[in-house]
Amino acid sequence: MINYCSQMCLRLRPADYWDHLSHRKWAVAFALSMGVFQTGQTNQSRMFEAESMQIARLLELHRTSEYEGLNAIETQLRKKAFWLQLYTFAHSKIQPGRRNHVTYLDNYMLREVDFDALEPLNLLDEHILDTGAVGRSPAVLPARLNSNGEDDSFNTTSAFIITSRVFLKGMRESMFNDGCDCGFGRTPEERLSRLRDLLDDLRYLLDGLPPHLRQWGPGDSYHSPDKPFYNDASIDQDPFGEVHLLHAQNEVTRANLHVTHLWLQNFLLDRMDAVIQEMDNSRLQTTANTSHLKLNWREREDICRQLLHILHSIPHPYLEPNGLFLIYKVRDVASSLLSCPLAMDEHVSRRASEFVQEFTKVLSYLDRSEIVNTDGLKSWIDEGRRGNKDI
């Protein structure tokens, strides 16, 4: 179906298709890129992704000044599009195998982006018309959530905003400094301190989420003040009812939000370990470095426990819609356990082995596609070199 849709979209393009650009054309390219990626067609996904990034650049989704004159619906759509495009851009910055991807924003443009101003209105789409918001005023999400109970103003757009903030916090250091000469002026100690501060901020960024989106969320006991109680019986009575669909939507969101949150923490720990290794190679090895490694490993074990709890507490039908992206994040966390420090005691290595075995079981039922991840490999053929047997 995905292949048929992509080929049909390409065949229907007239000669002047690129003379007129719109958010809709960006959405088509982005959706096709994500779709073929899920089926393992990495090379085709890369080309559709390049299209979507080029359209995003031409529409200047990253410049708040270019939103003047747009109606409220178009503004909301373009702001959401910016964040979705930023996700793919950040991955191309941090994953070595994706360095062959076209870059969305360079380091200088990135420093001009007003991320706060590009957050979409905290309203459901049905409450936004051409003329503006209707029914209710958009609630402003504070930098730190402080709600400990059900919040009627918290909706799917709120979850999108929180996910974007978490992603930006975890990726900020890499997006802004990797591949830029500005980052080389800092000492390893300064970079390590900066990464530690980011990790501390990121760890508690989800405090204050509504109960149904917490890491230990109520699962199949989900309910809200204005909705009837959700339980298994309600599925049998009305499997496509509003209560069941709302519950499913929240569980899919909860899985993506917390897996991403833990994956980003693990990513920062990997970066910290790399800096410590750099300090060791520079003959700056001290007892402080060893203590940093031990502390990082304890935090990594805690991340693994939390991630396994999430994966076991959320039913598979709510994990599956997150696709290969969730699987690759789980795989990244699991693979980091393979670097268990030899200096640790036997109990640590035993726990690491148990975690790896458990993640292997989880991945065996999460990823049944048997698709090999070739995103970081040169999986294309240069036809101009096919006749040269020496290459």
Long-range contact set of residues 40-46: C-beta below 8 Å, sequence gap at least 24: 40/369, 40/371, 40/372, 40/374, 41/3, 42/374, 42/375, 42/379, 43/379, 43/380, 44/6, 46/101
At 234-261, the pLDDT tens digits run 555 566 677 788 888 889 999 999 999 9
Per the CB < 8 A criterion, the answer to whether 275 and 284 are in contact is: no
* For residue 231, pLDDT beyond 60: no
Among 66-70, 81-85, 172-176, the least confident range: 172-176
The rounded percent of the chain whose pLDDT value lies above 90 is 44
pTM for this entry: 0.87
Report the Cα–Cα distance between both ends of the chain, in Å, rounded: 37
For residues 179 and 136, what is the distance between their CA atoms, to the nearest angstrom? 44
Q: Which residue has the higher pLDDT, 179 or 29?
A: 29
Facing residues of 128 across strands?
133
Lowest mean pLDDT among 21-25, 198-202, 230-234: 230-234
Would you say 254 and 217 are in contact if contact means Cβ atoms under 8 Å apart? yes
Cα–Cα distance, 295 to 328 (Å, whole number): 25
- Residue 225: the pLDDT is 47
Residues 391 and 389: their CA atoms lie apart, in Å, by 5
* Tokens found for residue 156: 């799917």
Q: CB–CB of 39/2 below 8 Å?
A: yes
For the chain, domain boundaries: 186-369
Question: Whole-angstrom Cα distance, residue 110 to residue 168?
Answer: 12
pLDDT tens, 289-339?
Answer: 667 778 888 999 999 999 999 999 999 999 999 988 899 899 999 999 988
Helix (H, G, I), strand (E, B) or coil at 228: coil
Q: At what angle do helices 23-38 and 42-59 cross, to 10 degrees?
A: 160
